[in-house]
């Protein structure tokens, strides 16, 4: 497997998608795939350009060993559809927005992150922005589960490319 590129997308790129970005970066390194996988995140809206992740997202992620502090918010760009192999949205609304912008030849790259969950059966990662600490913890629970599923997906892709 050459470089495989994954982009996480939520609305503002300050809570859910940077959390997924930081968790998958950590797990990719942990599983020795850091040299093969590129991870990034973006928002469908340009609400917080160049801002760090929400302090609450950073705090809860740090309590589980994930450092989100280097990440900065950005809006999804047309070039992302060409560049990334897998574009994972956090919910139905953001999936619809990304589908509207995505050229037909790249629609197959679009999925919801929760499709990779192995233990949680939820269709979306809910936005914790207006919730308390439990909302941010729930996001981390879903993201960790989905990222474990993504690691299995990446291992499968690696096996296919090596055979």
- Whether 147 is catalytic is no
Q: Are 136 and 60 in contact (CB under 8 A)?
A: yes
Q: Are 65 and 29 in contact (CB under 8 A)?
A: no
Q: What is the pLDDT of residue 163?
A: 63
Task: Write out the H or E segment, with its range, that includes residue 7.
Answer: strand 4-10
Catalytic residue among 10, 15, 117, 147: 10
Q: What is the pLDDT of residue 98?
A: 98
Catalytic residue among 15, 16, 56, 112: 16
Tens place of pLDDT per residue across the chain (163 aa): 578 999 999 999 999 999 999 999 999 999 999 999 999 999 999 999 999 999 999 999 999 999 999 999 999 999 999 999 999 999 999 999 999 999 999 999 999 999 999 999 999 999 999 889 999 999 999 999 999 999 999 999 887 677 6
Q: What is the pLDDT of residue 158?
A: 83
Task: Write out the H or E segment, with its range, that includes residue 28.
Answer: helix 16-30
CATH number of the domain residue 35 falls in: 3.40.50.2300
Number of domains forming the structure of the chain: 1
- Whether 127 is catalytic is yes
- Count of beta carbons in the 10 Å neighbourhood of residue 132: 9
Q: Which residue has the tokens 């269709």?
A: 123
Catalytic residue among 40, 127, 145, 148: 127
- The residue segments making up the domain with residue 143 are 4-162
- Whether 29 is catalytic is no
């Amino acid at each position: 497997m050459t470089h495989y590129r994954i982009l996480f997308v939520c609305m503002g790129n300050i809570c859910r998608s940077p959390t997924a970005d930081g968790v998958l970066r950590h797990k990719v390194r942990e599983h020795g795939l850091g040299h093969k996988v590129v991870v990034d995140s973006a928002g469908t809206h340009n609400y917080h350009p160049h801002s760090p992740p929400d302090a609450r997202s950073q705090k809860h992620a740090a309590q589980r060993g994930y450092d989100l502090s280097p990440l900065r918010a950005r809006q999804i760009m047309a070039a992302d559809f060409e560049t990334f192999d897998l574009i994972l949205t956090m919910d139905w609304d953001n999936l619809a927005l990304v589908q509207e912008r995505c050229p037909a030849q790249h629609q197959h790259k679009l999925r919801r992150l929760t499709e990779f969950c192995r233990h949680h059966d939820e269709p979306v990662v809910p936005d914790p922005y207006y919730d308390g600490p439990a909302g941010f913890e729930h996001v981390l629970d879903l993201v960790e589960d989905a990222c474990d599923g993504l690691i299995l997906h990446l291992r499968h892709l690696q096996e296919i490319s090596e055979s």
